[in-house]
Amino acid sequence: MEAKDNIEKLRKQVQHHEYLYYVLDKPEISDAEYDRLFSELKALEARHPDLITADSPTQRVGGEPLKSFKTVTHKKPLLSLDNAMNEAELEEFDRRVREGLGEEIVEYVCELKMDGLAVALVYKNGRFQVGSTRGDGVQGEDITRNLKTIKSLPLILNKEIDLEVRGEVYLPYDDFIKLNEEREAEDETKFANPRNAAAGSLRQLDPKITADRPLDIFVYFAEINHDLKTHFARLEYARNLGFKINPNIKLCHGLAEVKKYIKHWDNGREKLDYEIDGIVIKVNDIADQHKLGFTARAPRWAIAFKYPPLQAETMVEDIKVQVGRTGAITPVAYLKPVHLAGVMVKRATLHNEDEVKRKGIEIGDYVIVQRAGEVIPEVVKVSRHSAHAKPFKMPKHCPICDSALYRPEGEAITRCINARCPAQVKERIRHFCTREAMEIEHVGPALVEQLVENKLIKDVADLYSLKKTDLEKLERFAEKSAQNVIDSIRNSKDRPHDRLLYALGIRMVGRTVAALLAQHYDSLEDLLNIKAEDLQKIHGIGPKVAELVEHFFSQKDNHKLIERLKNAGIRVKGQGSRVPQLLKNLTFVFTGGMETMTRPGAEELVRQLGGHPASSVSKQTDYVVAGTDPGSKYDKAKKLGVKIINEDEFKKLLGGSI
Ligand code: IVH
């Protein structure tokens, strides 16, 4: 009995100090003292294994890797938030809220909008039971064991109550940079941004990997204690229960104070050690929240004010061109390194020749760069022109294979049309191995470079005949790492065939088009010698894409490649995974003409991606896509305050997949 008491006492102590350190950031004992307590607890538990419980602080990491995640149905759907992109939209929100409540001035809670991953945490009797991802809002994945590895997430609360809280899991900037440096050193693909890194870390089947990533969590919503009548009081209460609540939340009386808060953090956000992409504004009074209610997708009592992307100024030291996997020649600005949103920016894409001209960018100029959530920053404009600047000239020959470059009439992109150009070969193989394609771990850019340079492979099919001994000949390769590479190549053989279709790197075939093709053609072989006119019958596939797909599958070289992939034992048919439901439950109305797709095509895409196309605008409409010369639907949308977007923004919603 004495052991049990001792263990419990120690657990309480360890837990208390973890709370002070990880949640409140106010430690009362030294790290060494904490380590001593923790080791003592571990030693005692080791002597009495029957007394170990799952929620002991020593048990944050444990268990065998899972085969897959279980699905969890959320008790209440995890909704999204409507966005305000500018002050006018924010004022509109405040006006609607005041009208809805019949009040002159409303009390709001302002919070930072962390750019991470939404999770739901369920507690029973004060003990952490299940944690899940947002998923499609209705169902998510059970990631309990991974969430347990987050030190600021309480396993046991101060009260034995049942409750559900929601929050955002994120990876601090410093840890994100460190993680990417490690990945680069190990030739693994780098994460595009802290958000992707957090998502990738949470979706590990082996909690030991998650435990290595210093994830953190802020709780922003708690459905607790009905005596508490305000959101602010509930968050305070949740903090006392043991949850980490962002210290920067603020009560704001009326819109003027909200605007002040927004301004303050627009200037201050770069100093935070995590990424935020806006401010969330919530009606504080819970009864008022109920009065205002929800739309199909978001609460009417809250809005996310989105900040514009972070920008910085620096000098263009050089402009060089890069050769992509489709032979596209992209000018890239080499910049004087500058700190931007937590990362050092050294390069920025300039897209194409015309863009460089249009923006008037010359070598030696000072420019504004921005990073909008993605890896590759872009140059917004020239801020100071240098008198000594040198203009950029598109080369006439490929910098890699020296063949003549070609820019078709009416197109913006200059290309190297030598399919055997080593740069293209390497890029195609790299693309094939990426996470979204065949997901071949351990085969990153540096290894592909080595393999091609050493003439061990010249296309993607060659990957599957690599031997361990081939790899061991390479520099810096040990037996274990060679085996890892061979294993991950072998493990990729059974990917659903839409992934293979995407991995082949056909121009303009993103993940959505690949999934559409896989839905209509059960096997890659059915696509050989396919005609563009047949492909165009698939809604969502336009003439340009159809032509490119026809071209790809008409090439004898590609027939041979597919044959070799098949002979290597790669799945070329079946199990085409479903099209990602990116627009699930969203209603779209189209008005006006579009440039790159037809209206029925766009409507079919919406349907395929889980949304609903509608013919008339109502309050239930989520988006009106306005093309050229929009009709009366546009005015109606304006009147009802429905979000209006253009064709480009619509395509962005498709996740860059078309
Ligand atoms: S409240 C019904 N508060 O933003 C309440 N969300 O665009 C809905 N987020 O899915 C969420 N920080 O992942 C809320 N302080 C905050 C937030 C926050 C980040 C994320 C969350 C949500 C998304 C909505």
pLDDT of 445-502, one tens digit each?
889 999 999 999 999 999 999 999 999 888 877 777 889 999 999 999 988 888 999 9
Query: Where does the pLDDT of residue 635 fall: very low under 50, low under 70, confident under 90, or very high at 90 and above?
Result: confident
Query: Where does the pLDDT of residue 227 fall: very low under 50, low under 70, confident under 90, or very high at 90 and above?
Result: confident
Q: Token digits for 212?
A: 């290595």
Mean pLDDT within 115-130 = 95
Q: Is 83 in the pocket of ligand 1 (CB under 6 A)?
A: no
Helices (H) and strands (E) in the chain, counts: 23, 22
The alpha carbon of 395 and the centre of ligand 1 are apart by a number of angstroms equal to 47
The alpha carbon of 548 and the centre of ligand 1 are apart by a number of angstroms equal to 40
Query: Where does the pLDDT of residue 597 fall: very low under 50, low under 70, confident under 90, or very high at 90 and above?
Result: confident
Element (H, E) at 640: helix 632-640
**Residue positions annotated with a catalytic role:** 113
648 phi and psi angles, rounded to 5 deg: -65, -45
Please give the number of the atom of ligand 1 that sits closest to the Cα of 134.
10
Please give the number of the atom of ligand 1 that sits closest to the Cα of 246.
15
Q: Is the pLDDT confidence value at 658 over 70?
A: no
Please give the number of the atom of ligand 1 that sits closest to the Cα of 221.
1
| Rounded Cα distance, 398 and 424, in Å | 11
Q: Is 218 in the pocket of ligand 1 (CB under 6 A)?
A: no
Q: Is 81 in the pocket of ligand 1 (CB under 6 A)?
A: yes
Neighbours of 656 (CB within 10 A): 11
Residues linked to residue 313 through DSSP beta bridges, in sequence order: 368
Nearest residue (by CA) to ligand 1, atom 10, is 80
C-beta separation of 222 from 235 below 8 A: yes
* Per-residue pLDDT at 575: 60
Element (H, E) at 625: strand 623-626
* Per-residue pLDDT at 609: 79
Q: Is 457 in the pocket of ligand 1 (CB under 6 A)?
A: no
Sign of the CA dihedral with 139 first, then 141, 146, and 148 last: positive
Residues linked to residue 655 through DSSP beta bridges, in sequence order: none
Query: Where does the pLDDT of residue 438 fall: very low under 50, low under 70, confident under 90, or very high at 90 and above?
Result: very high
Please give the number of the atom of ligand 1 that sits closest to the Cα of 112.
15
* Per-residue pLDDT at 534: 93
Q: Across 344-348, 374-378, 549-553, which has the greatest mean pLDDT?
A: 549-553
SS3 content of the chain, % helix, strand, coil (to 5): 40, 20, 40
Mean pLDDT within 603-614 = 82
Nearest residue (by CA) to ligand 1, atom 12, is 113
645 phi and psi angles, rounded to 5 deg: -130, 160
Average pLDDT, the chain: 89
Q: Is the pLDDT confidence value at 361 over 80?
A: yes
The alpha carbon of 640 and the centre of ligand 1 are apart by a number of angstroms equal to 24
Query: Coil, strand, or helix at residue 12?
Result: helix
Q: Is 428 in the pocket of ligand 1 (CB under 6 A)?
A: no
Query: Coil, strand, or helix at residue 644?
Result: strand
* Per-residue pLDDT at 179: 85
* Per-residue pLDDT at 185: 65
The alpha carbon of 306 and the centre of ligand 1 are apart by a number of angstroms equal to 12
Distance of alpha carbon 499 from the chain centroid: 18
Ligand 1, pocket-test mutation among 80, 262, 292, 295, most atoms within 8 A of CB:
80
Mean pLDDT within 516-538 = 90
Over residues 298-334, the pLDDT tens digits come to 899 999 999 888 889 999 999 999 998 889 999 999 9
Residue whose entry in the numeric block shows the structure tokens 């999204």: 80
Listing DSSP states for 285-346 in one string gives BHHHHHHH-B-SSSBTTEEEEEPPPEEEEEEEEEEEEEE-TT-EEEEEEEEEEEEETTEEEE
C-beta separation of 505 from 440 below 8 A: no
The alpha carbon of 219 and the centre of ligand 1 are apart by a number of angstroms equal to 10
The alpha carbon of 603 and the centre of ligand 1 are apart by a number of angstroms equal to 29
Mean pLDDT within 433-450 = 89
Portion of the chain with pLDDT greater than 90, in percent: 55
Ligand 1, pocket-test mutation among 76, 119, 168, most atoms within 8 A of CB:
168
Q: Is 168 in the pocket of ligand 1 (CB under 6 A)?
A: yes
Residue type, 315: M
Distance of alpha carbon 204 from the chain centroid: 15
Between residues 308 and 551, the one the model is more confident about: 551
Q: Which of 633, 655, 541 is nearest to 596 (CA)?
A: 541
| Rounded Cα distance, 502 and 507, in Å | 10
Q: Is 299 in the pocket of ligand 1 (CB under 6 A)?
A: yes
Ligand 1, pocket-test mutation among 82, 109, 114, 234, most atoms within 8 A of CB:
114
C-beta separation of 486 from 466 below 8 A: yes
Alpha-carbon distance values, 343 to 57, 114, 194, 275 (Å): 34, 17, 10, 11
Q: Is 316 in the pocket of ligand 1 (CB under 6 A)?
A: no
| Rounded Cα distance, 533 and 543, in Å | 8
* Per-residue pLDDT at 225: 74
Cβ-count burial of 437 within 10 angstroms (0-12 exposed, 13-18 middle, 19+ buried)?
A: buried
C-beta separation of 280 from 220 below 8 A: yes
Q: Is 113 in the pocket of ligand 1 (CB under 6 A)?
A: yes
Between residues 585 and 413, the one the model is more confident about: 413
* Per-residue pLDDT at 410: 82
Listing DSSP states for 106-137 in one string gives -EEEEEEEE-SEEEEEEEETTEEEEEEE-TTS
Nearest residue (by CA) to ligand 1, atom 7, is 81
Nearest residue (by CA) to ligand 1, atom 3, is 220
Over residues 264-284, the pLDDT tens digits come to 999 888 888 898 989 999 999
Q: Token digits for 383?
A: 């801020």
| Lowest mean per-residue pLDDT among 42-46, 223-227, 551-555 | 223-227
Query: Where does the pLDDT of residue 374 fall: very low under 50, low under 70, confident under 90, or very high at 90 and above?
Result: low
* Per-residue pLDDT at 100: 95
| Rounded Cα distance, 607 and 516, in Å | 12
* Per-residue pLDDT at 366: 96
Ligand 1, pocket-test mutation among 110, 113, 231, most atoms within 8 A of CB:
113
| Rounded Cα distance, 299 and 281, in Å | 11
Between residues 575 and 418, the one the model is more confident about: 418
Query: Where does the pLDDT of residue 516 fall: very low under 50, low under 70, confident under 90, or very high at 90 and above?
Result: confident
Mean pLDDT within 238-247 = 95
Between residues 351 and 41, the one the model is more confident about: 41
pTM of the model: 0.66
Q: Is 221 in the pocket of ligand 1 (CB under 6 A)?
A: yes
Q: Is 79 in the pocket of ligand 1 (CB under 6 A)?
A: yes
Query: Where does the pLDDT of residue 530 fall: very low under 50, low under 70, confident under 90, or very high at 90 and above?
Result: very high
Q: Is the pLDDT confidence value at 657 over 60?
A: no
* Per-residue pLDDT at 247: 95
Q: What angle do CA 374, 380, 385 make, to 5 degrees?
A: 140
Q: Is 386 in the pocket of ligand 1 (CB under 6 A)?
A: no
Please give the number of the atom of ligand 1 that sits closest to the Cα of 304.
7
Query: Where does the pLDDT of residue 367 fall: very low under 50, low under 70, confident under 90, or very high at 90 and above?
Result: very high
Please give the number of the atom of ligand 1 that sits closest to the Cα of 111.
15
The alpha carbon of 495 and the centre of ligand 1 are apart by a number of angstroms equal to 33
C-beta separation of 454 from 426 below 8 A: no
What is the Cβ-side half-sphere exposure of residue 8, based on CA atoms within 13 angstroms?
5
The alpha carbon of 120 and the centre of ligand 1 are apart by a number of angstroms equal to 11
Portion of the chain with pLDDT greater than 70, in percent: 96
Q: Which domains does the chain have, with CATH numbers?
A: 2-60 (1.10.287.610), 83-306 (3.30.470.30), 311-395 (2.40.50.140), 422-494 (1.10.150.20), 497-567 (1.10.150.20), 587-653 (3.40.50.10190)
The alpha carbon of 65 and the centre of ligand 1 are apart by a number of angstroms equal to 30
Between residues 61 and 657, the one the model is more confident about: 61
Say which DSSP state 270 is in: G
Please give the number of the atom of ligand 1 that sits closest to the Cα of 83.
7
| Rounded Cα distance, 635 and 623, in Å | 13
C-beta separation of 630 from 591 below 8 A: yes
612 phi and psi angles, rounded to 5 deg: -125, 120
* Per-residue pLDDT at 73: 92
| Rounded Cα distance, 52 and 42, in Å | 10
Mean pLDDT within 75-82 = 89
The alpha carbon of 102 and the centre of ligand 1 are apart by a number of angstroms equal to 26
Neighbours of 209 (CB within 10 A): 15
The alpha carbon of 87 and the centre of ligand 1 are apart by a number of angstroms equal to 20
Q: Is the pLDDT confidence value at 118 over 90?
A: yes
Q: Is 277 in the pocket of ligand 1 (CB under 6 A)?
A: no
Over residues 148-205, the pLDDT tens digits come to 999 999 999 999 999 999 999 999 988 888 888 777 666 666 787 788 889 989 988 8
Query: Where does the pLDDT of residue 28 fall: very low under 50, low under 70, confident under 90, or very high at 90 and above?
Result: very high
| Rounded Cα distance, 241 and 237, in Å | 6
Q: Is 114 in the pocket of ligand 1 (CB under 6 A)?
A: yes
Q: What angle do CA 295, 297, 303 make, to 5 degrees?
A: 80
Element (H, E) at 164: strand 163-170
Sign of the CA dihedral with 223 first, then 226, 232, and 235 last: negative
Q: Which residues contact 211 (CB under 8 A, 6 or more apart)?
A: 60, 61, 149
Nearest residue (by CA) to ligand 1, atom 17, is 113
The alpha carbon of 208 and the centre of ligand 1 are apart by a number of angstroms equal to 28
* Per-residue pLDDT at 578: 56
* Per-residue pLDDT at 7: 92
Nearest residue (by CA) to ligand 1, atom 9, is 113
